[in-house]
Amino acid sequence: MLKTVYLLSFVVLVTLCITGKTYAQEEVRPSLWQVETNDGNIYYGRIISQSQEVLRLETENLGIISIAVENIRAIRELNDEEIKNGEIWPENAQATRYFFAPNGYGLRKGEAYYQNVWIFFNQVSVGVSDNFSLGLGTIPLFLFGGAPTPIWITPKFSVPIKKDKLNLGGGALIGTVLGGDSGGFGLAYGVVTIGDRNKNLNLGLGYGFADGDWADSPLINLGGMLRLSRKGYLISENYFVVADGSVFGAISLGGRTVWNRFSLDYGGFIPLGETGSFFVIPWLGFVVPLGK
């Protein structure tokens, strides 16, 4: 019964992504900017003037304010998806991923975030350029009596084919285990993503490897996300492998809640295949933006 609910929910998500229907009406974006200062304050408004020393910003509530350039931590122009019905929506810092699986979008140059899942999983990702990002992750098992510790890097290329409509991506997860006898492990993949950063559908294909040997069957990934409100997303990330005439993998459904400097992911994965019983693996993680 739960599998049916998960699949039906995913079909609804896919349909909404393809048709472009959302719960908020689209509107023409004014030229608004977000300015974050070194003390953590965030201001929104139109830039009146800017010199090497001072930026003058026209805000709705404070009028025209002057901010010393040396006190500005980050500044960026708001995109179409961040302004709905005159209200500013917080940006999704992890728009390039679902729970973990990547899509065809990439971090912009200078953007970065830290992801943590269930305390133990840790990864930092940085946008080296608008088309290339790099992540570094670990599960620090060495904290528990010096146990072997997996570490990995995640290089990723992203290529926009049509802005906010179609993106291609490719990359790898390349890892090893420090203090262990096993060799390297990882996954090489390619993805195609239809939709924008707030509502999209993603198809990925990858091959895993370990100790120099590649998997005989590809890993198929089908995922998507849909922004339902100012802070809320619906997310699904699903994996399939066909081996010996049987299908293995996992399906998932969950959500993401975003704030200005923090986002929280939550959901559940249901394993597929000859597991012998039905159970749900819970997912709980958070993301903190680090870059501009």
CB 251 within 8 A of CB 7: yes
- For the chain, domains (ranges, CATH) are 2-25+92-289 (2.40.160.40), 33-78 (2.30.30)
- pTM confidence score: 0.76
CB 219 within 8 A of CB 237: no
pLDDT higher at 8 or 77: 77
Look at 2-6, 127-131, 157-161 and tell me which has the smallest mean pLDDT. Answer: 2-6
pLDDT of residue 2: 46
CA distance 59 to 72: 16
Q: Which two tokens stand for residue 285?
A: 């993680």
Rounded to an integer, the average pLDDT of 141-156 is: 88
pLDDT digits (tens, 9 = 90+) for 170-187: 999 999 998 877 779 999
Element containing residue 272 per DSSP (H, E):
strand 262-272
pLDDT of residue 51: 87
Cβ-defined contacts of 12-17 (< 8 Å, 24+): 13/201, 13/224, 13/225, 13/226, 13/234, 13/236, 14/201, 14/224, 16/199, 16/226, 17/194, 17/195, 17/199, 17/200, 17/201, 17/224, 17/226
Look at 22-36, 116-130, 256-270 and tell me which has the smallest mean pLDDT. Answer: 22-36
pLDDT exceeds cutoff 70 at 31:
yes
What is the maximal distance between C-alpha atoms in the chain? 67
230: CB partners within 8 A, 6+ apart: 84, 87, 89, 90
The alpha carbon dihedral of 267, 94, 193, 184 has a sign of: negative
Q: Which two tokens stand for residue 77?
A: 């122009």
| pLDDT confidence band for 143 (50 / 70 / 90) | confident
Share of the chain above pLDDT 90, in %: 49
CA distance 6 to 17: 17
Best CA proximity match to 235, nearest among 204, 219, 257, 250: 257
